[in-house]
Amino acid sequence: QNIKEFLTELPSNMFLHEVDKDSIECENIDEEVEADLIVFATRHQSESRQASLTCHTQGNWGRAELGGKEGELGIAPALYLKEFYLELKKYSEEFEGDVTLEVTHHGPSVGNACMFVEIGSSEKEWTDKRYGKIIADCIKKVFVKKLSGKSCVLLGGGHYNSAANKIMERTEYAVGHICPKYALANLDSEMITQAIEKTIPKPSLVALDWKGLGQEKERIVNLLDEMNIKYKKSKSMW
């Protein structure tokens, strides 16, 4: 409701669709909403209760514990994730918290390109009108644009992914799907293929957060070599 209050006078290419259930439960919402890109503007909750403004795409690298399907990724609009993140960063001085990308996680299963833009992580931030307005203003600025550029998939790192943030800020690449360190055990050739095929535009490489791969380094590099997929250490990109 906080964000909705400021989503007035939307550009002609956007419309507001309200649901009466949690966003992660909106399975196949693309069948009731006709849109090229679906954006869930919602709240983010974490145990740390750290104030945050975040964006991410959805999907499950393994078990489906919060909506979606096991081992199924959504369609990641990498260019819009980058544009939205960079727009959010412009408000860093007004926001007393973190502005960050999150990794690919949770549901719902949606057949169209889809992303989440969120206020976190407690009642204090959810009800703060300043933050609702920031998210709404970014929505109105970003999703009127027609974007072009290069994309990549990122493997490794934490849930709030600093390597992805740096790639977005410092390179020509936009990051689509991100598989964090805690989900790497689920990563096989099928999931890598899915991450590439379900990132728009199609990625030209896989970025590796080398330190953030932990004990999976050798296995993942061998897997990418076997699949003949180009990869780079993320630090070499900026």
With cut-offs at 50, 70 and 90, classify the pLDDT of residue 126. Answer: confident
Looking at every residue in the chain, the average pLDDT score rounds to: 95
Looking at the predicted structure, is the pLDDT value of residue 203 above 90?
yes
Whole-angstrom distance, CA of residue 24 vs CA of residue 21 = 8
Per-residue model confidence (pLDDT) at position 44: 74
CB distance 166 to 150 below 8 Å: no
- Structure-token pair, residue 220: 């993942």
pTM of the model: 0.96
Given the structure tokens 């199609």, which residue do they identify? Answer: 202
Higher pLDDT among residues 25 and 189, named by residue: 189
Question: Can you give the residue ranges of every domain in the chain?
Answer: 4-237
Higher pLDDT among residues 96 and 205, named by residue: 205
CATH for the 4-237 domain, from 3.40.630.50, 3.30.930.10, 2.130.10.10, 3.40.50.2300:
3.40.630.50
Looking at the predicted structure, is the pLDDT value of residue 121 above 80?
no
Provide the pairing of β-strand 113-121 with 173-179. Answer: unpaired
Q: Residues near 8 by Cβ (< 8 Å), separated by ≥ 6?
A: none
What DSSP assignment string belongs to the chain?
-TTGGG--S--TT------SS-GGG-TTGGGTS--SEEEEEEEEE-TT---EEEEE--B-SS--SSSS-TT-B-BEEHHHHHHHHHHHHTTTTT-SSEEEEB-S------SSEEEEEEEEESHHHHT-HHHHHHHHHHHHHHTT-----EEEEEE-S-SB-HHHHHHHHHSSEEEEEEE-GGGGGG--HHHHHHHHHTEESPPSEEEE-SGGGGGGHHHHHHHHHHTT--EEEGGGG-
Q: Identity (one letter) of the amino acid at 141?
A: K
- Structure-token pair, residue 157: 């790192």
- Give the residue-averaged pLDDT of 112-133: 92
Q: pLDDT by residue (tens digit) across 51-96?
A: 899 999 999 999 999 999 999 999 999 999 999 999 999 998 888 8
- Structure-token pair, residue 68: 């979606």
